[in-house]
Amino acid sequence: MALLLISRGSFSGGQLISQCLSRTAGTRCLTREDLTAVVNTHGDLANQVLTSMARAAQDYSRLSALRRPYKILMQRALLEYVRQGDVAYFGYSGHLLLPGIAHAARVRILAPIQLRIEMLMKQGGVSEEQARERIHQVDEERSRWTRFMYGKSLKDPELFDLCINLERVSFPTACGMLLSLAQQSEFKPTPESVAAVERRYLCACVLAALIDNPRTFELEVGATAEGGCVTLEGPYLEDADRAAVLETARTVSGVTDVQYKEGYAPPFDLTS
Amino acid sequence: MSVITISRGSFSGGKILAECLARKLGYRCLDRDVIVERAAAYGVSQDDLREALQKPPGFLDRFKHKRYLYLALMQASLAEEVRTGKAIYHGLAGHLLLGGGQPILRTRIVAPIERRIEMLQERLRYSRRDAIAYIAKVDEERRKWTRFLYGVDWEDPALYDLVINLEHVDIEEACRVISSIVLGPRFEFTAESQRRMDDLAIASRVRADLAINRSTSDLELEVVAHDGAVTIQGKVAITAQIDEVKRVASAASGVASVNIDQLVPPIRV
């Protein structure tokens, strides 16, 4: 159940690395599109979140309200894959989507602008000037996305375990390094880290169920789990709202007991 | 047989990593003090050289020429030390002093702040508060230094071939990863690599000689070399300096020819 969370610039060779990982180690490589496809299978609300994300791009407050449900749904989608086997996720700020998993290795792939331009020209049949402009635009969007979603800089090396620059490190070497990194004891799943994945998954399912329910959609509630016992923590709720929260959480498969505590709802990133 | 530069924050384990690589690869391990000692042979104070490498320029300092001189001497010393390959430099801005495009593996290591604090407290017996303040100060000075002199953010991963975070990866593993890359074909030290390193050493030597020579010491010039043929660009203050530049450059060892066509003479009004 190795887990590589990979962030890369647009047209920085992510696809080639992904092919290499699949071929060499049978690692399942996922993109953001793979996760959104999973999110879309969970009913209308998930669709609405994603559509509204695109529509609300210019409207900060609307977009901001969607940040939490989006992250929860994406995290649950990724956790579904992580539970099944080795995964390399190449997505927008992939290294930040699933923090707190002890065996996850966070990697950034960089490539010099000239190499990226050449790759895009070859792939998209565009001129050098168009390729440069497109790369600049996508980089800018991703950088804004990371700042908005996570309040972090994409360039901060402290957020990664390894940054590889493909200017002089070849694709096969980079691929070998990633495979070797995943084999290191620090990044090998342990019974504790696997149990943490299960706890995170259960919490994500509960929070997603609350998002799916229009009555509880807007409540900022955090979740922790121990076995099938889930503790929800959030603001003071009227009896009817509290009952709706507890009832919704109980419907989630794997949940054996639920309790609600008033207090600070930890950000979803920090729940386990 | 390549060259490895290691950039790191203070007390991030750079020295331990460099020593591990030196053992594993049989390379020489160079730190800032080795380079400073060599540069001091040009006749300048070791303390001034250290300060030039350490402290960011103040507002008034920006108008001083001394820093150019010290950096030219440091660059020449470093280029000479690593010219034949098989060397590891763990000191500030090795990747910038040696420039891009050389057969050099540029690495950076980052370490979590807690580990750095522990390391500093263990070595210097600082209180926790003083250790935090010390690390913040040195990091800020280095950030300013590279921003001012090279116009880049020293933390930008794009400046390196490899950045390793020691939060979860231990030094032994970092050492293994780096040595496996440097032994790969991309970093093989070929005859072409040797030629480029020789040219870098020659260009840096000429620049240092010009910076230390009394009649040309006020100039800030760009020098490149190709197969020993040296081209010098920049502005001179008085016309007589053009001949002097040529004379000093021609006398430097390894120089086959000197092209000063791109030296700009002073404008006469």
Which pLDDT belongs to residue A43? 66
Nearest CA in chain B to A188: B168
- Our CA-based measurement puts residue B141 at a distance from the nearest CA of chain A, in whole angstroms, of 18
**Best B2, B4, B6, B164 residue to mutate vs chain A (most A CBs within 10 Å):** B164
pTM: 0.82
Read off the tokens for A19: 């092919």
User: CB–CB of B158 and A165 under 8 A?
Assistant: yes
Which pLDDT belongs to residue B57? 66
Q: Which amino acid is at A213?
A: N
Q: Which amino acid is at A214?
A: P
- Burial classification of residue A1, based on how many CB atoms lie within 10 Å of its CB (0-12 exposed, 13-18 middle, 19 or more buried): middle
Q: By a Cβ cutoff of 8 Å, what residues of chain A touch chain B?
A: 105, 108, 110, 112, 155-158, 160-165, 167-170, 173, 177, 180-181, 184, 186-187
Q: Between the CA atoms of B166, B88, B102 and B107, what dihedral angle is there, to the nearest 10 degrees?
A: 0
Which pLDDT belongs to residue B201? 94
Query: For residue range B82-141, what is the model confidence (pLDDT) as tens digits?
Result: 998 899 999 878 888 887 667 789 999 998 889 889 888 988 888 999 999 999 988 888
Which pLDDT belongs to residue A78? 93
User: CB–CB of A161 and B168 under 8 A?
Assistant: yes
Q: SS3 of B233, please?
A: strand
- Our CA-based measurement puts residue A188 at a distance from the nearest CA of chain B, in whole angstroms, of 11
CB A74 within 8 A of CB A82: no
Instruction: With beta carbons under 8 A apart, name residues in chain B contacting A161.
Output: 164-165, 167-169
Q: Which amino acid is at B22?
A: A
Give residues 11 to 30 of B whose Cβ lies within 8 Å of A: none
Q: How confident is the model at residue B20 (pLDDT cuts 50, 70, 90)?
A: very high
Alpha carbon B183 to its chain's center: 23
Give residues 57 to 116 of B whose Cβ lies within 8 Å of A: 105, 108, 110, 112
Find the CB nearest B161 among A169, A186, A187.
A169
Check pLDDT > 80 for residue B28.
Answer: yes
Q: Which amino acid is at A189?
A: P
Query: For residue range B177-197, what is the model confidence (pLDDT) as tens digits?
Result: 999 888 888 788 889 889 999
Q: Can you spell out the DSSP letters for chain A?
A: --EEEEEE-TTSSHHHHHHHHHHHH-PEEEEHHHHHHHHHTS-HHHHHHHHHHHHGGG-HHHHHHHHHHHHHHHHHHHHHHHTTS-EEEE-TTHHHHSTT-TTEEEEEEE--HHHHHHHHHHHH---HHHHHHHHHHHHHHHHHHHHHHHS--TT-GGG-SEEEETTTS-HHHHHHHHHHHHHSGGGS--HHHHHHHHHHHHHHHHHHHHHHSTTTTT---EEEEETTEEEEEES---HHHHHHHHHHHHTSTT--EEEEEES----GGG--
Instruction: With beta carbons under 8 A apart, name residues in chain B contacting A108.
Output: 157, 163
Which pLDDT belongs to residue A232? 94
Instruction: With beta carbons under 8 A apart, name residues in chain A contacting B177.
Output: 162, 177, 180-181
Nearest CA in chain B to A155: B156
- Our CA-based measurement puts residue A134 at a distance from the nearest CA of chain B, in whole angstroms, of 19
Find the CB nearest B173 among A110, A165, A184.
A184
Find the CB nearest A161 among B169, B181, B186.
B169
Q: SS3 of B84, please?
A: coil
User: CB–CB of A162 and B163 under 8 A?
Assistant: yes
- Our CA-based measurement puts residue A149 at a distance from the nearest CA of chain B, in whole angstroms, of 21
B194 vs B176: CA distance, rounded Å: 25
Find the CB nearest A173 among B157, B173, B181.
B181
Query: For residue range B211-245, what is the model confidence (pLDDT) as tens digits?
Result: 999 999 889 899 999 999 999 999 998 888 999 99
User: CB–CB of A169 and B181 under 8 A?
Assistant: yes
- Burial classification of residue B141, based on how many CB atoms lie within 10 Å of its CB (0-12 exposed, 13-18 middle, 19 or more buried): middle
Q: In DSSP terms, which residues pair with B30 in a beta bridge?
A: B89
Q: From first to last of its 272 residues, what are the pLDDT tens digits of chain A?
A: 689 998 887 778 888 888 888 888 889 999 888 888 887 776 665 666 666 666 655 566 666 677 888 889 889 999 999 999 899 998 877 788 888 888 999 999 999 899 899 988 988 789 999 999 999 988 888 888 888 888 888 888 888 999 999 988 888 889 989 988 888 888 999 999 999 999 999 999 999 999 888 889 888 899 999 989 999 999 899 999 999 999 999 999 999 999 999 887 665 554 44
User: CB–CB of A167 and B161 under 8 A?
Assistant: yes
The pLDDT > 90 percentage for chain B reads 45
Which pLDDT belongs to residue A48? 67
Find the CB nearest A161 among B165, B180, B185.
B165
- Our CA-based measurement puts residue A6 at a distance from the nearest CA of chain B, in whole angstroms, of 14
A237 vs A246: CA distance, rounded Å: 11
B100: DSSP letter: S
